[in-house]
Amino acid sequence: MDRRFAIGDIHGCLNKLDELISKIDPRREDTFIFLGDYLDRGDHSKEVVEYLVDLSKEVDCVFLRGNHEDMFFEYLEYGTNEGIFFANGGRRTVESYLGSLDGITNDQVARALPESHRDFFAGLAWYYEDDHYIYVHAGVKSSIPIASQDRHDLLWVRDEFIFSPTGLAKKVIFGHTPFWRPMVKPDKIGIDTGAVYGGVLTAVELPQETFIQNL
């Protein structure tokens, strides 16, 4: 029987990711949808990406773009957002790829990315949709079809989405905003449970809507 899992924000927490995936015990026919924010704040951003690249060779994986990946891409491309990127945990990402921040430029970080990681980042989707659910990193604006949503909202929206009905026919599965336990409403499920802040890493199995955590 095919199984489908969505997994929340990892933020460089390699051990919690490994524990959660081991607990799920993937099968070849499974599908995993990762909701973005693989990087920053935790100590093992590079290793998390490597883990996910390897996992995608064994099972079907969908990787969404999070706001932290968005900041990382801007840093790699232009380097003009270094202060904001580093203040939001980007220092840990750069250190995981190069071991140090001393004299580092954005060009050096870009060159340090293995080709498989470049391919991983290039393939990140803005959203994903199946027969019953819409998957995004942060959320959506009410009553706007998913294909017409503003990309900034998909990555960054919080309260306006969380506290308003979506107006969409499908339930939205999202991360981005951390809760101590999964947030469940009739039209949305939030599964960022603050793994990098001392919480757990959460997956939701669908369509059962049952939760699995690394502990």
Exposure of 106 in the CB half-sphere (CA atoms within 13 A): 16
Mean pLDDT calculated for residue range 9-38: 98
pLDDT at residue 34, as a whole number: 98
The ranges assigned to domains in the chain are 4-213
d(CA 1, CA 17): 24
4-213 folds as Purple Acid Phosphatase; chain A, domain 2 (3.60.21)
Q: Please give the angle made by the CA atoms of 14, 130 and 152, to the nearest 5 degrees.
A: 65
Q: In terms of residues, how long is the chain?
A: 215
- Write the burial class of residue 77 (CB in 10 Å: 0-12 exposed, 13-18 middle, 19+ buried): exposed
What does the block give as tokens for 164? 């308003």
What does the block give as tokens for 52? 């996910």
pLDDT at residue 116, as a whole number: 97
d(CA 198, CA 201): 10
Residue-averaged pLDDT of the chain: 96
pLDDT at residue 99, as a whole number: 87
Which of the pair, 30 or 215, is modelled with greater confidence?
Answer: 30
| 3-state class (DSSP) for residue 132 | coil
Instruction: Give Cα 139 distance to the centre of its chain.
Output: 12
Beta 31-34 vs 4-7: how paired, if at all?
Answer: parallel
Q: How confident is the model at residue 107 (pLDDT cuts 50, 70, 90)?
A: very high
Question: What percent of the chain clears pLDDT 90, i.e. is strictly above it?
Answer: 96
pLDDT digits (tens, 9 = 90+) for 138-178: 999 999 999 999 999 999 999 999 999 999 999 999 999 99
pLDDT at residue 100, as a whole number: 79
Instruction: Write the single-letter amino acid at 84.
Output: I
